[in-house]
Structure formats: structure tokens, C-alpha cells
Structure 1
Amino acid sequence: MGDLNGKTALVTGSSRGIGRGIAQRLAADGALVAVHYGSNDLAAKETVESIANAGGQAFMVGAELGIPGDAEALFTAFDNGLAAHGAQPGLDILVNNAAISLPGHIDEVTPEDFDRTLAVNTKAPFFVIQHGLRRMRDGGRIINISSAVTSTAFPSTIAYGVSKGAVDTLTLTLAKDVGARGITVNTLSPGFVETDMNAAMRATPEAQAALAALSVFNRLGRPSDIADVAAFLASDASRWITGQRFDVTGGSML
């Protein structure tokens, strides 16, 4: 505890999976964490309770992403949550983690699926950042969660790859735009991590083993593997790093 004392963090999609792991780690390092969820308030409550039980501080923020007015709704809930928690207004760490993955090759993706994927994975983070910067203190941290699919071809999730490729470019360009304020912007690109999103892909022992074999460590990633790197990027120790994409795949497909 201590590295992030006095900091306020917002982690989108942190009711479970990688987002939950990041929220728990930032709270363990001393940050007050806003745990965002889209619809699963029970899972978000579990995340907040796990943080409190470990001695940290967190509160829930509910807002559906990928719809008109999503960023405004998110930050209205965030501001209200800070006030209810007795915390000072403002934001120090923003983690854009919330995402969806709709499978499909190029000839299978519908316009509706494509629009929905980009609305949640690309447009929402863009405008969440826009609104977040109005609250972010100088020296803040923005961490975008991308994916290994931007550097390795996965034709069966092509729309997802397109949406995350845009996030990588957003990180690069934004880092230059906000550097004068001392704000860093970086991307984490996980490989296969044991989360609900990919549960169907590892439903059998054989499938689990095949995915684990992609990493040089012969195992799937854990949310904590990603969260530990996010904690570094959220800390002052990363102050001289910005505009970068970090491969956190466990050496997958080297």
C-alpha cells in the first residue's frame, strides 16, 4: 500500500476479469477506485467488497457504454460517487478496459455487429477520455487496454481487431497531445487471459491446453499478470514512458 495514496482512479469494465484485477491492484496501492459496470451490478458489488475486505477504498459507477451520451452518464455517476464518498473532485488514473468481442470472419460480420463493436471498444474510450481529461489532474495516467490481435492475425475476430487497432493509434496520438500536462498515455495488449470473455474458447481441457501452449510459459494469463503492469504504468515510476504499447501476452506466438 502507498504508491497511489491520495489518487483517484476510474477503471471501466471492472466488475470482473482483467478490469477487476486492475481495480483491486490500484486499490491495494492506495488509490480510491471507481469500479465501473455496464449491467452486472452484483459483480461490481463483489469487486468493491473484495477491495474493502483487503483494506482498500472503492465505489460503484454504473453506466452502459456504446450508446449515445455514455461518457456523460459515466462521469455524472463518477462525480456523484466521489461526492457521496466524501472525496475531492478530480481524476488521476483512467483505465479504459471495457470491451466486447463478437466473433466472425469478414463474410460473417453484420453491419450491426461491426457498429456495436466499435461503439463499445473504440468510440466509448475516445469520449470517455475526452470527458475524463476535463477532470484529470496534471501528471495523470491514461491506460488503454488493447489486445494481441493488433499484432497477430485472428481472422475469426476481425471486427474486434479493427476496434483495438484504433485504440493503439489513439494512444500514440493522444500521448503527444497531452504531454505538456505531464499526462502519460499507454496501451496494454494482453493475450489469452482466463476471463469470462473467452470462456467458450477454452471449454475443454484440449482447448485450454492449446491456448496455454501459445505462451512460452505454457499457461494462460491471469488478471493479476495484467494488473501488475497497469499498476506500474499508473505509478510515478512510469513517468518517462508514454505513447507506448506493452505486449503482456506471456511471450505468446514469439
Structure 2
Amino acid sequence: MCRKIIDAHIHLDMYEPVECVRILDDMEASNVDAVISVSNHLASARETIQLAHDNYRVKPAIGFHPEQPIASDEEVGDLLSMIDCHKEDIVAVGEVGLPFYLRREGKVSTREAYRETLEVFIQKAAELDKPIALHAIYDDAPVVCDLLEKYSAAKAHFHWFKGDKLTAERMVANGYFISVTPDILYEKETRDLAKEYPLGKMMVETDGPWPFGGIFSEEMTHPHMIHRSVYEVSALKRTSADEVYKRLYDNTCRFYEL
């Protein structure tokens, strides 16, 4: 069996140019069929669209990452216009969500402005019937679930999800997807989630260039790391590696309509 993988969430535009070239050049040899490359803001979205134009394996998404100062109305409008302009080219709206880490660090006192911005992007995703790639963890996740339910936006992907059991059960009931990173090799929270969440609603990702520990310490985050993640999911699920490879690959293709 050809054990192909798809990186369901990566910030390809955030790599140094030489690193990005290396990743793209390695994809065939690493059995990486595609990467879902999300964007952080307007300039990031433009670069991501160009990367996708230059390499068919790059599947772009347009959004505004919440862990930064709130976008101006003008930037949000430009991003929405860009989504409309490239609606046939993008596979998702994202990355979007709420600023958990900024709030924890005291750099943002309230998430209300971010919630309003997120609501606009969820509306757009629902309007275009596009998947939405979400940064929504811990106490932010129920708020995001409320918004998704409000607009009947069923195509939701909670990347690198962290949260309580009740919220996870709500996400399963709504048919939302999650993805796990290479920290599944050493992070109990991710391992416990992978054990409990249905395999049919899971994907795998790197969230590169975010770095990892364990056996990946001091190594540039690369989609080939996902192969180790798949084997770990296989062990945790007590399901053959061949079956897990197939399910995760098929899940991602189906969710992102690849």
C-alpha cells in the first residue's frame, strides 16, 4: 500500500524561502500528497495564493489568525473580497478563531472584537459552503461552537484542539473534525483526545513552522513528521497502520474536497 499523507494544517508562507522550497521539493519522496496552507492575514493570504499557483500540491485557505492585534475593518473587508475572488481556488476559510494565548498573557482584555470578526468569517464560509479552519481551544471552543451552530456551518475543522470532554462530545455530535500534530508522540492531552475522538472525524497536521519536542527537538517542522503521528494514532486506536493511513487520508480529501 502507498501510505500517502496530507498535512491538514500548515503555515507554508511563514517558512524561510529556502525551507519552503525544501518542503515542496521533498513532498513526493515523503509521500506527502498535499498540504492545506492556511493564512494569517492579508499579506499572508496573498503569498499563500501565489504558493498554490506555483505548486498544485499546495491547497490554500484565506483567513485572519486571532493571535495578533485585531484586524481593521478595511483588512477584514479586503480578506472577504479576496475570498470571493478566489472562491474556486481556495479549499477553506482559515485560519480564524479566538485569541486564547493573547488573553492568557494579558495582551487582550476581551475577545469580543475577535468574536465579531470570527462571526463574519463563519458567515462567509457558510455562504460559500466552504470548510473553515479554526483556532479555538479550551474556553474559546464552546463560543465558537455557538457561532457555528448559529449559521449552520457544519464543515468545521478544529486544528490542534485542546479542550474539555463535554466540548469534545459536542463537536463529535455536530460532526466537526479535529487534527492532531506530532506532539501526539509525547503530549498526554493530545494522546487522550486521539484515543477518544472518532477516527472518521480526524486528520493529521504539523502546524508548521511551529517546532516540536521529543524526537523532533531542534528539527525544522516538516510534513514527513506526520508519518510518525499516523503510527501513533494506529497504536492508540489499536487499528492497523494501513487502515489508519487510509482513513486519515480519505477524511482530509473528503473534508477539503481535494
TM-score computed with the length of structure 2 as normaliser: 0.39
